Amino acid sequence: MEKVVIIGSGCAGLTAAIYTARANLNPLVLTGTMPGGLLTTTSIVENYPGFPEGVDGFELMQRMQKQAERFGARVEFGTVESAAVEGNPIKLAVDGKEIETRTLIIASGAGHRHLGLESEARLENKGVTYCATCDGALPMFRDQPLVVVGGGDSACEEATYLTRFGSVVYLIHRRDELRASKIMADRALAHPKIKPIWDSVVTEVMDVEAGKVTGVRVRNVRTEEEQVLDCAGLFVAIGHVPNTQIFRNQVEMDEAGYVIPKRGSETSAKGVFVAGDCSDHVYRQAVTAAGLGCAAAIDAERYLAGISQ
């Protein structure tokens, strides 16, 4: 039986692995389908402390994995298909085999919601991005027109942030009213560089053949009129989807599927802890995920110490 299983190998999961490994708990990390997590999809990470020149997202995650392995963490490629967390041991079905564990750290992250366009997928990381904080400062976006899609706090925050870099920021929303909190909406709409495009959806990202974003085709959903907006970047900020489906009805979560931590990183299920983007819809930064992973590891360690006393 395992002492600690960690689901997810992003910043939260690997930091939890470093801490539990250093506590001699020999953790098993199950990577999920995206080893290294969302950060591996970003190019340069410029806001992770300790890297004044920035660090490649993939490299940062590889370093974290090496650090965890150095202390005895076992990182295995595996996807948890189902989980039974009510009793102890906790049981997981992983690629057809059963794993039993005394504690579980859910660090399964969240995925960016995508528009679902083929051109969007083909130009991802070539001007299409899902994180202004991560990518906004890249040279390719400097003094260029930029597009943000979405009407929530994320879209408003990203659009406001991008005014530092872009010449103009088009904020495209499918309705004529923002969902964002009043303060964030007011701040965005009052900014002279932000130009809202209401009742509109992006139907195509150009230019797939050129291999970079040169513009977006936009359709007004009321008038059906189309226009093309020239831009160098498309920032999609239409929400996130936490990777928590397998825990639905077993661990308390909100309507959107974010696990609700109780005390510290404890969840509603005994011996089950949570860290990172699957429980955090506010900060969603690599460094906050790492911090939450550390907290979950310490909580799991204390829980195990309590059981054995």
Contact residues for ligand NAP (CB under 6 A)? Answer: 113, 115, 149-155, 157, 174-175, 179, 201, 238-240, 281-282
Cβ proximity to ligand NAP, 102 vs 240, nearer residue: 240
Catalytic residue (choose from 11, 134, 156, 231) = 134
**What residue is closest to ligand NAP based on CB?**
152
Q: Is 131 a catalytic residue?
A: yes
Catalytic residue (choose from 11, 56, 131, 176) = 131
Catalytic residue (choose from 11, 56, 135, 294) = 135
Cβ proximity to ligand NAP, 89 vs 239, nearer residue: 239
Least distance from ligand NAP to the Cβ atom of residue 37, Å: 18
Least distance from ligand NAP to the Cβ atom of residue 282, Å: 5
Mapping DSSP onto H, E and C, the string for the chain reads CEEEEEECCCHHHHHHHHHHHHCCCCCEEECCCCCCCHHHHCCEECCCCCCCCCEEHHHHHHHHHHHHHHCCCEEECCCEEEEECCCCCEEEEECCEEEEEEEEEECCCEEECCCCCHHHHHCECCCEECCHHHHCCCHHHCCCEEEEECCCHHHHHHHHHHCCCCCEEEEECCCCCCCCCHHHHHHHHHCCCEEEECCEEEEEEECCCCCCCCEEEEEECCCCCEEEEECCEEEECCCEEECCHHHCCCCCECCCCCECCCCCCECCCCCEEECHHHCCCCCCCHHHHHHHHHHHHHHHHHHHHHHHC
Cβ proximity to ligand NAP, 84 vs 201, nearer residue: 201
Cβ proximity to ligand NAP, 93 vs 241, nearer residue: 241
Least distance from ligand NAP to the Cβ atom of residue 183, Å: 9
Cβ proximity to ligand NAP, 239 vs 291, nearer residue: 239
Least distance from ligand NAP to the Cβ atom of residue 283, Å: 8
Q: Is 254 a catalytic residue?
A: no
Least distance from ligand NAP to the Cβ atom of residue 70, Å: 35
For the record, the structure tokens of 279 come out as 């429980």
Residue 156 and residue 184: Cα distance in Å, rounded?
A: 6
Active site residues: 131, 134-135
